[in-house]
């Protein structure tokens, strides 16, 4: 879902950068020092998952894993995704620095929205099948919302991009089901080994031994 440089209008770029700055500020405010390692690991997972991409017009199709980041991090997904996209832009020229704000917004905002829509299913006390269903919905809907936002970003630049916007959304429909399955599998695994991550809480290993 990386939108290349030189595609979007200046107004869309500025609006995306401003909204991303606000989202990152909220995420950093809620990020505790103890949570930085887990946020870094999730940012690295996002970085690796979205490295393999298929061009689709002015954007690209690839695994995103923003639903998993949203499920675990909430608003803290904004700085995690920003770091991952920034490294991809600098190291591999995916997207670009001028589109970093818009690309981050298109992936991080759906992650936060899905956190509020489906995050309740990851809380302690929910049945395993409820966790699986909500995690699948979180992963698939995050990709769907991101695809729609990418298409909307292109449409706001000009109606000439409407066919490309439709192509981006349609191309991500199969990815939705893959992402949903991966998110559900990861949530199932974390419920067994580190349930506190799904609760949004950090429990030091030394404390868990008592």
CATH number at residue 34: 1.10.1760.20
Calculate mean pLDDT across residues 81-103: 88
Name the residue with tokens 């509020």: 116
Q: Given pLDDT bands bounded at 50, 70 and 90, which one contains residue 138? A: very high
Beta-sheet strands, E only, within 109-199: none
* Residue 83 placed within a domain: yes
Looking at the 3D structure of the chain, how many domains does it have?
A: 1
Distance of CA 154 to the CA centre of its chain: 19
What pLDDT does 209 receive?
36
124 pLDDT above the threshold of 80: no
Please give the radius of gyration of the chain, using alpha carbons only, rounded to the nearest integer.
Answer: 17
* Residue 30 placed within a domain: yes
The parent domain of residue 193 ranges over 10-204
């Amino acid at each position: 879902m990386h939108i290349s440089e030189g595609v979007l209008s200046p107004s869309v770029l500025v609006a995306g950068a401003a909204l991303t700055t606000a989202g990152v500020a909220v995420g950093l405010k809620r990020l505790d020092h103890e949570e930085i390692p887990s946020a870094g690991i999730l940012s690295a997972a996002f970085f690796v998952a979205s490295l393999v991409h298929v061009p689709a017009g002015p954007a690209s199709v690839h695994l995103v894993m923003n639903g998993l980041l949203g499920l675990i991090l909430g608003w803290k997904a904004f700085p995690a995704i920003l770091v991952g996209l920034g490294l991809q832009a600098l190291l591999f020229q995916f997207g670009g620095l001028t589109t970093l704000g818009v690309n981050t917004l298109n992936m991080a905002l759906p992650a936060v929205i899905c956190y509020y829509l489906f995050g309740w299913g990851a809380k302690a006390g929910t049945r395993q099948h409820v966790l699986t269903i909500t995690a699948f919905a979180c992963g698939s809907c995050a990709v769907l919302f991101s695809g729609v936002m990418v298409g909307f970003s292109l449409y706001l630049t000009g109606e000439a991009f409407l066919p490309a916007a439709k192509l981006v959304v349609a191309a991500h429909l199969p990815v939705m089901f893959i992402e949903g399955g991966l998110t559900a599998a990861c949530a199932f695994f974390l419920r067994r080994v580190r349930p506190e991550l799904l609760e949004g809480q950090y429990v030091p290993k030394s404390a868990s031994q008592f």
